[in-house]
Structure 1
Amino acid sequence: MNIASISVPKTAQTLLLVDLIILGAAVGILTNFTAPFNISESWNKNNNTLFTPIMPILPAVIYSVVILAFLFVMGLYQRVYIHGTRLLKSGLTAGLLIWLCAGWPIAGARLLNSDISTHEFLIIHVVLLAVLLAARPTICFYYNRFARKRRIALVGSEPKLSVFSGMISRTVPSEFVIVQSKQVNSVEDKDYLKSILHDLSMRPDIDQIIVDLPFQEFEILNANNKLVQLKGNREVLVPMSAVIEQCARWSGIEEAEYNVAHIRHDPIARSVKYWVETLIALCGLIFVLPIMISVAIAIKLDDGGPIFYRQKRVGRLNRVFVVLKFRSMLQDAEADGKARWATIGDTRVTRIGRFIRMTRIDELPQLINIIRGDMALVGPRPERPEMVSEIEAQIPGYSLRHRVRPGLTGWAQINLPYSANIEETMRKTQLDIYYIKHWSIWLDLAIIAQTIRIVLFAEGAR
């Protein structure tokens, strides 16, 4: 199942189904479904207004939709947030935001039931959220202990087998169980590879064989040898890169050029993205103007230096532009002219700078870059020209990021913190390439929604 171009794991699908059942029951209880059927009585009791009996259903549905929206925003359909302390932190924050945005206004206006006070509705709200949150570790436990997992065999080089095994071990609950692992140099020893694949495909205890082969090599191997078979509706043999994309949601940089070359994005959708993001940036700039003025005064009072920080960045088609940010570091942070990575506890950061970096307020002036067309609202983060040449020499496929406009937020930004070295930049590049490959307007909306959580929890800030 795919939503917003992203493969949705079974845990998230089950959680959504359970949430809908719980909220459906809550709507029925809150609106008292027996009332609308007694039309004659309702007509007399409600000033002869036929539509009054069904009116409580609308605010109840709105309340439920707001709950689902904030559960998604706070990451409560992601596996890393459905157990442990992250569940508690995200759940409590979601509950508070839902109450402020929908629960309190609905309860105060007595839109659901005139007999339910605001205090009583708050208790109902807390109980409902507790039930929704309790469903998460319960479903996680079920998928860990009882749900049938996909039994797989891994075939490939030692480094890729290690990466894939590590991905499975870090994913809780996992949808896989490794039955067998065969180490082979798949590119050099094709005959040995074919023999292994044939033997594994005959085993009834293996649902799927995941092989470490580039997409183009995999297609040639299948076309010539017809190794792909079906068990039910599932392909037995699949490339490891495809499974990693599906589960870890990043794309391999080794074959990035091949992957992205086969993408054909809808130009109309791209045009819609440009104009909608420009409109959002214009409205957003007006909305956050009081915050920006306050920050500008605070920066000036802090050390008397310049308010804005201007820096050259590489944009779409390698065009260099000047990005705007609120200054968060000392005026002479790079007095020697040498570009440096931002690090945790960076001593160059000022007092006010530490706050605006944690809350991402320092990025707000980039709304002007979006209006000017230098940047998009969603896309890979732009990098400095002097660092781009260094990174491109070490990371294959990094230049592919420049096929789209850089963004204020992005797929890499909601999944990883700021890069502090070449290894972290490589991981973010894998996420950026995934975004370019799977881009859709729905994916952009999902990233924008998830950015709210990143800002609220100051995740990844340095």
Structure 2
Amino acid sequence: MGTLHHLMGTFKTLGTFKFFKMHLRVPFLLLALMEFCICVAAVFVAVYVRFDGSQITEVSSIRSPFATSMLFGLVMPVTMMAMGLYQSRFRGGILGVFLRSVIGFACGAAILALLYYLIPHLYLGRGVFGLAILIAFFVVGTIRPMFFYYVDKDILKIRVLVLGAGEKAASISRRLRRRVDRRGFRVVGYVKLNTDAMVVVDSASVLDLEGSSLLDFAIANNVDEIVVAADERRSGLPLEELLECKLHGLDVIDLLSFFEREQGKLPLDILRPDWLIYSDGFQRGAVRDVSKRIFDFIASAFILAITWPFMLFAVIAIKIEDGMDAPVLYRQTRVGFLGEPFEVLKFRSMSVNAESGGVAQWATKNDSRVTRVGNFMRKTRIDELPQILNVLSGDMSFVGPRPERPHFVEQLSETIPYYRERHAVKPGITGWAQVCYPYGASMKDSVQKQEFDLYYIKNHTIFLDMLILCQTAEVVLFGKGAR
């Protein structure tokens, strides 16, 4: 039992770790690894069942069983990740998980069929292939409910002690209300500071240390992390006690870093300029710029090779609906890198004279200006595909904050803090805000999107770009935020 308790404690302290600036949750990485192993084993089990228990190398046409099964094991988790099935804050419920699992396995099967055809050395027979998919789907569908049952248990969560009981401390429960928002941590309680003007958190969760030191209380209550959420930081913080906790091995982080890790965004209402200046991130350099440009070119070429038939159909549909003389592309001035204007290209989804008055307008739900073909293109994001040309020309990146019109930039810069900082990177076709938040068509939506965009600007790496590009598939297939 002592060994088990030690292992669980080790597991909790590794609840998240940073990989290329991204906070990855260990339980979901373990789930991906487990499902990878299941998919690899499914190939061998399928051969065993298909050929009545005979040795795989004797009766199967598989030339490289290990490489074939490894490819099967790699592709399936990637397509499931593209469906959002490894997101810790997924809120789709049982039906949503099942639907995304079906689509993920179907997409994975299509990709594998193509790869097995293009690489004959890895060929997998149709009977074994189909059986392996069924076995993997059934086993994965069986373990996932058990995984989510245990991942929601407090025993697997980091135990957090919040230093402060005022307005900032109360923002934790306000921002992280749902169970899925708290999968990585459990708040042990709040410690009131002398500088707290008033107690805003639930009084029942305010702790009385009863004369013991912060470290003694943390040890006695198995605290793994202390979050500093003081309303007033200039005085009143028990710095010596916090240092003692730090030296003892407890993690001590501020509230902004806590939200950055748990939400994947930077809350504007408590964001401080000094935190942005001294925190790690916002890095640029020749290597980063070159690798980003290479990624943009490869991603654009890959997406163009896949989507050109849809683009052709879009051109034909626009011409059929609006006439042969109607323009197919729509050019609109947007604000790009370092605030420089450029013309973004889109398939025209609105009527020709949508803004005849010359005044820029927010798109609204069921907008009457949107054509029937345009409505379908917007829901499927086909109208955005011509922006691949903007990426190839260097005006945009494939991944980055969405570019806005100059009129809206002026409006939003006056009301949203740090809004112009979004122009520190090239705008993108898709971005972190697009995969994390629905379509933004109001001032409130723009504030939420800005919090995600600032996170991306601070932490952007090729790894994060690849993750966003992969998860964009879920946004397109399920029409998240389409308008």
Give the TM-score band, short-chain normalised.
Answer: 0.7 to 0.9
Matched, 1:70 2:70: no
Gaps of at least 5 residues in structure 2 are 1-16, 199-207
2:290: which partner in 1? 271
Judge conservation of contact 2:347–2:383 (CA < 8 Å) in 1: yes
Judge conservation of contact 2:43–2:129 (CA < 8 Å) in 1: no
Deviation at 1:109, TM superposition (A): 10
Matched, 1:310 2:331: yes
1:294: which partner in 2? 313
* Residues in 2 aligned to 1:270 and 1:90: alpha-carbon distance in whole angstroms: 35
1:440: which partner in 2? 461
Judge conservation of contact 2:45–2:132 (CA < 8 Å) in 1: no
Matched, 1:348 2:356: no
* Residues in 1 aligned to 2:410 and 2:164: alpha-carbon distance in whole angstroms: 32
2:147: which partner in 1? 139
Amino acid at match of 1:93: I
Amino acid at match of 1:278: F
* Residues in 2 aligned to 1:127 and 1:271: alpha-carbon distance in whole angstroms: 43
2:430: which partner in 1? 409
Deviation at 1:23, TM superposition (A): 3.2
Deviation at 1:26, TM superposition (A): 2.8
* Residues in 1 aligned to 2:305 and 2:120: alpha-carbon distance in whole angstroms: 33
| Equivalent residue for 1:339, pick from 346, 360, 374 | 360
SS of the equivalent of 1:170 reads coil
- Deviation per residue, 1:38-76 (Å, 9 max, x gap): 99x97xx79xxxxx9862222111111111211211111
2:442: which partner in 1? 421
Judge conservation of contact 1:380–1:401 (CA < 8 Å) in 2: yes
| Equivalent residue for 1:369, pick from 390, 395, 398 | 390
Matched, 1:164 2:183: no
* Residues in 2 aligned to 1:356 and 1:429: alpha-carbon distance in whole angstroms: 25
Judge conservation of contact 1:395–1:426 (CA < 8 Å) in 2: yes
Judge conservation of contact 1:378–1:409 (CA < 8 Å) in 2: yes
1:5: which partner in 2? 21
* Residues in 2 aligned to 1:237 and 1:64: alpha-carbon distance in whole angstroms: 38
Q: 1:341 to 1:107 in 2, by over 3 A?
A: same
Amino acid at match of 1:25: A
SS of the equivalent of 1:75 reads coil
Q: Cα RMSD (Å) of the superposition? A: 3.7
Amino acid at match of 1:354: N
Q: 1:291 to 1:135 in 2, by over 3 A?
A: same
Matched, 1:359 2:375: no
SS of the equivalent of 1:242 reads helix
SS of the equivalent of 1:387 reads helix
1:130: which partner in 2? 138
Judge conservation of contact 2:166–2:230 (CA < 8 Å) in 1: no
Q: 1:159 to 1:311 in 2, by over 3 A?
A: farther
2:31: which partner in 1? 15
1:49: which partner in 2? none
Matched, 1:245 2:245: no
* Residues in 2 aligned to 1:95 and 1:181: alpha-carbon distance in whole angstroms: 45
- Deviation per residue, 1:262-282 (Å, 9 max, x gap): 433343122221133135435
1:457: which partner in 2? 478
Amino acid at match of 2:401: P
Judge conservation of contact 2:396–2:428 (CA < 8 Å) in 1: yes
* Residues in 2 aligned to 1:187 and 1:266: alpha-carbon distance in whole angstroms: 42
Judge conservation of contact 1:82–1:136 (CA < 8 Å) in 2: no
* Residues in 2 aligned to 1:408 and 1:113: alpha-carbon distance in whole angstroms: 36
SS of the equivalent of 1:312 reads strand
**TM superposition score normalised by structure 2:** 0.80
* Residues in 2 aligned to 1:76 and 1:389: alpha-carbon distance in whole angstroms: 38
Deviation at 1:224, TM superposition (A): 6.0
Deviation at 1:354, TM superposition (A): 0.6
How many residues in Structure 1 have an aligned counterpart in Structure 2?
442
Amino acid at match of 1:210: V
Matched, 1:397 2:397: no
1:192: which partner in 2? none
1:255: which partner in 2? 271
Aligned pairs for 1:111-260 within 5 A: 118-119=126-127, 121-145=129-153, 147-156=155-164, 158-172=166-180, 174-182=183-191, 200-203=214-217, 204-205=220-221, 206-213=223-230, 225=240, 227-230=242-245, 234-253=249-268, 254-255=270-271, 257-260=273-276
Amino acid at match of 2:148: C
* Residues in 2 aligned to 1:65 and 1:28: alpha-carbon distance in whole angstroms: 15
Deviation at 1:291, TM superposition (A): 2.7
Q: 1:209 to 1:432 in 2, by over 3 A?
A: same
**TM superposition score normalised by structure 1:** 0.83
- Deviation per residue, 1:354-382 (Å, 9 max, x gap): 11001101001111111221110010000
Gaps of at least 5 residues in structure 1 are 47-51, 190-194
* Residues in 2 aligned to 1:324 and 1:107: alpha-carbon distance in whole angstroms: 36
Identity of aligned residues (%): 30
| Equivalent residue for 1:89, pick from 84, 99, 110 | 99
Deviation at 1:145, TM superposition (A): 3.3
